[in-house]
Structure 1
């Protein structure tokens, strides 16, 4: 163990940073405190505090992450076979590219959450919902593919159109918009990354929505690539239309994975022309 210098001991006692590391000094006379900001705040957040918060997240979400990872593997299998055509503007290549982007948003949202930023997690989750809503519109709306490549397809309108196919999309997108994206007084709350606890309400929301998000992504990927499968998974085809009609095995698994209430929401009028 190295012996601390007298100056280091004095700084530790006063909780004072090194002089060459001080960015600003503020005297809080009301509370009789001196507040310092330092030049290494970003460095500490990324390499010291961030990993500590992430460990607290990982300890409490290991099983959920493993369950979601298995579903992501299924989704990726549907997408990757079409990414070879990424330079094309046809339907399969376009929706594969969008769904791949959605999986990136999904993974990024979890990375943000595990480092202690639940509000920013919600913003990325909304991006995922908006992306898969657009995928549905490309599948059901005549002329949407041409409009998309011309830059004329409004992603906000896509949510309204797509919720007729999957009702939970509209509810979830609206909640994420209100609570996480549209700036409100909640955004003025002083909150920063701290270690997660077992009673953390934010963690409960993250765990639940992680499952809901990947489940919705799975359903939409299954819809747009449904004709490539011989067995029924989530959708039943009737001519050019598809109806949300999961196989008994998928229905049972879905109820366990996201809960019966979420499944019932999806069943309320879910169909794709």
Structure 2
């Protein structure tokens, strides 16, 4: 396992598993609440995900009790900010990576922690999961994109109730609402997310990134402009080495050898 930074007890751990970069928040003593140094390390990790050609998919995880409970309020009171300029809360919510990112959640994902999960492309959660935006109970609003992304993931009435009451979603309910891709036994979220990431990583990298871009862009409704973007992306892919490789591999009945170009 490799880590960002030289601290004896780093707050963000990085591990490469084949084509998958696993990014783990490591502040269990505060239920993985995000302070400024942790946010900056996370931003560096997501930059690495995009820039490192040896990894194709990312997994963001926490610990057995909590994915993240949001901002470290003690650090905020001391003048720190969990926001990274240009990247948002936790170095993620304003500018997610181009490559797919999967959240692996055990236990609590609350406030900014839930907003980070919503900024991921897929969520794998254990049955211990508790998801919520409690900001209204503290006189605040969820200002890291949660109120904007939640209605694209949930029915309007459910999103509105969560936003106005601060209530949490738990257990089977998150699966029934299709908020998570998989609901697994406690302790299995990370391994299940890595397995899902490995399935994605087998596909052509440029095609995966283009597909992610279009699905996210279409979340607010298909437009003529977006159709133009789709056609432009497809035209680029048709001239890539990977599309030729995909066709050749199909004809030769062998696994493709993607180059990401």
- Note whether the superposition's TM-score is higher than 0.5: no
- TM-score normalized by structure 2? 0.26
Structure with the largest fraction of helix: 1
Which one has more relative contact order, counting CA pairs under 8 Å at least 6 apart? 1
- TM-score normalized by structure 1? 0.25
